[in-house]
Structure 1
Amino acid sequence: MKKSVKLVMIIVLLMAGGCTTQKKEENTRIIDTSMFLYKVSDQKGKYSYLFGTCHPGRYPIKSLDKVTEKALDESDSIYLECDMKPSPKETEEITKYNTYNSIRDLGLEDKYENLMKQYKSLKGKPGYALYNVFVISSLVINDPEVLNKANISKFNAIDNYIYDYAQKKKNFKEVEGIEFQMKLLTELSGDYSETILDNLANKEMVIKSAKEDLDAYYSGNTQYYEDEQNLLLNQLEQLNDSDKEKYEKYWDILAYNRNIHMKDTLINSINNGKHDFMGIGCKHIYGKKGIIQLLKDDGYLVECMK
């Protein structure tokens, strides 16, 4: 059962962290992300770009590398998973999902009380049990100790730099939309809240997983993500039948089905003769069921721009 618990945490951790805001700071730097940029071409040479992002931030960003900046500049549309700054009306509509399948409704307040003892972001806030587990996950990832030990900045996410770039060019588009994501998380919270809460109770693992993910991204280690996703799939195959069915369903809803949709969106842009740029979380693009492999399976040429 320990393997299946880890499967949940690997997939959910950075998505639960959400997207951070861009903040002007001193000591900005140029971030080389070219190893996460791919040119996807059809047999006629029409192409668009696929880019692996990292949702949490780490360093103040002056710009991305010249290769990625050029791809952004020449793109007809710039896609991210969702709008970073929904309107107040949209936000009000979306937040209703936060209370569906709440910790209290699922009878898991004892597990939440355990988390309150461990995380400053939750201490003294029993009312948060009115929210679902993914809201709690986000609050945990933004805990001061987690941010400090995993070297996460609440600002300066790659996603937000790209979003601001697209806003200036007035060519931003969503692949999914935040309401879609909230509905998806609400669906998952019904069956997997207890397992996720058990994982969050292991603070050392939460910090270690978050730090390893960000270390890999900011050092340009694409192999880390490739190996992680393939390991996850291999572990799924080793589970007993009942666990396998349960966690395959989780993986399909949160990752694989979305990978197919994102892949199809990129293919549509190529078929329409557009040079688009699609920024997607790294955990979606690598591995045997990642977007890169799905594109190759469909006959597209995928070239790293590093």
Structure 2
Amino acid sequence: MHSFLGESVLRQIIVTLCWLPLSLLALPAQADSAATAAPARQGGAMFKIQRAGHSAYVFGTIHVGRADFYPFDDKVLQAMQHSSAIALEIDPGNAQGLAELMTKYGIYPNGKSLAQELPPPLLQQLNPLLEKYGLTLDAVASMKPWLLATMLGFSEYTHQGYLAQYGVDVTLAAYAKKQGKPVVELETAEQQLSLLGKLTPAEQIQFLQDSIDEILDPAKAQRSLQLMTLWRNGDVDGLAAMLAELTSDDTFTGKFVQRALLDKRNPGLADGIARLTSATPHAFIGIGMLHLVGKNSVLAMLRQRGYTVSRVY
């Protein structure tokens, strides 16, 4: 494995807006205690799903956060406490094989270099951003463009004060571990990473260009920060409008979100939840909030499968 792709980099890998932080960092003490502290209204939205005598709670998560996102609301805490299992997209505490997957899908083989692949104008835009985040071109030279785009998105969130260690998924996994509850994965890290790793070289370069443009354009950058506010407010309609705007624009990123987030991942998540609720009573399910909004959401697909869906928080 390339030496730079160590623990310090792996703990930074996140796909902005829709992917779980693939983190190797030890679950922090704040995450262990956050779920059991005194309740407060802290954000998110929770739904109860029911079919054929089986029920579960589905909570919309966000994959980066701040310490003041916690504790969870009392209704969320009660649903967690009464659950028999915690289900997540993937378990952020399961690091086995992750480094190999990152190398498989995100690292150039045979000494190939990022600088050899990127057009000069894009390199000129990239260098100041790397400097802003305390990185160098040499440090990311073996990364494929999609992986670098992902890390830049994470780095900007970090720059704004939102950290993967305070992501809701990480906190839920820590709670499950502390309480001795099983963590069920609805997807695998391979499934998530392969969607990115199989992008063509041209698509990856466009993904990187779109990501840089998003960061450099103040108006576009506000959209990512607005996501945090909408989540804190539990504004499902606002999040649905944001997702509709994102998937209707002409950027590669918008089209990729439509193809990967909605068309490919949502049906699989809905199938996984259906299997889980048939076999596991009283599960608590946490998946990215953007999977739960819009006409092709996981919740809409569950309704099509005969589930009653009601918002309870």
Do structure 1's residue 56 and structure 2's residue 67 form an aligned pair? Answer: no
For 2:153, the equivalent position in structure 1 comes to: 141
What is the SS of the residue equivalent to 2:198? helix
1:216-227 pair list within 5 angstroms? 216-227=230-241
What is the SS of the residue equivalent to 1:64? coil
Describe the superposition over 1:215-252 as per-residue Cα deviations: whole angstroms up to 9, x where unpaired. Answer: 1112222222111223345x26xx7xxx99x9756622
State the distance in 1 between where 2:64 and 2:227 align.
10
For 1:152, the equivalent position in structure 2 comes to: 162
Describe the superposition over 1:46-89 as per-residue Cα deviations: whole angstroms up to 9, x where unpaired. Answer: 211211100011234553111111111222221111121234x5
For 2:21, the equivalent position in structure 1 comes to: 18
Do structure 1's residue 266 and structure 2's residue 277 form an aligned pair? Answer: no
For residues 160 and 217 of structure 1, do their structure 2 counterparts lie closer, same or farther at Cα, with a shift above 3 Å needed?
same
Of 92, 106, 117, the match for 1:84 = 92
Of 71, 83, 87, the match for 1:75 = 83
Do structure 1's residue 167 and structure 2's residue 172 form an aligned pair? Answer: no
1:201-212 pair list within 5 angstroms? 201-202=212-213, 203-205=215-217, 207-212=221-226
State the distance in 1 between where 2:186 and 2:280 align.
18
Structure 1 residue ranges without an equivalent (≥5): 1-11
For 2:204, the equivalent position in structure 1 comes to: 193
Opposite residue 155 of structure 1, the aligned amino acid is: Q
Shift of 1:153: 3.1
Do structure 1's residue 38 and structure 2's residue 47 form an aligned pair? Answer: yes
Do structure 1's residue 104 and structure 2's residue 111 form an aligned pair? Answer: no
Moved more, 14-23 or 214-223: 14-23
State the distance in 2 between where 1:184 and 1:257 align.
9
- Retained in 2: the 8 A contact 1:113–1:126? no
State the distance in 2 between where 1:98 and 1:72 align.
35
Shift of 1:35: 5.2
- Retained in 2: the 8 A contact 1:35–1:304? no
For residues 61 and 73 of structure 1, do their structure 2 counterparts lie closer, same or farther at Cα, with a shift above 3 Å needed?
same
- Retained in 1: the 8 A contact 2:20–2:63? yes
Describe the superposition over 1:16-62 as per-residue Cα deviations: whole angstroms up to 9, x where unpaired. Answer: 6825665346xx785535751111111x3321121110001123455
For residues 80 and 153 of structure 1, do their structure 2 counterparts lie closer, same or farther at Cα, with a shift above 3 Å needed?
same
Q: What number of residue pairs does the alignment pair up?
A: 285
State the distance in 2 between where 1:277 and 1:166 align.
10
For 2:5, the equivalent position in structure 1 comes to: none
State the distance in 2 between where 1:281 and 1:255 align.
12
For residues 230 and 103 of structure 1, do their structure 2 counterparts lie closer, same or farther at Cα, with a shift above 3 Å needed?
farther
- Retained in 2: the 8 A contact 1:16–1:137? no
For residues 185 and 106 of structure 1, do their structure 2 counterparts lie closer, same or farther at Cα, with a shift above 3 Å needed?
farther
Structure 2 residue ranges without an equivalent (≥5): 1-14
Shift of 1:112: 3.7
Opposite residue 199 of structure 2, the aligned amino acid is: L
TM-score after normalising by structure 2: 0.78
For 2:138, the equivalent position in structure 1 comes to: 126
- Retained in 2: the 8 A contact 1:296–1:302? yes
- Retained in 1: the 8 A contact 2:46–2:57? yes
Opposite residue 149 of structure 2, the aligned amino acid is: S
- Retained in 2: the 8 A contact 1:188–1:250? no
Between the aligned residues of both structures, percent identity stands at: 20
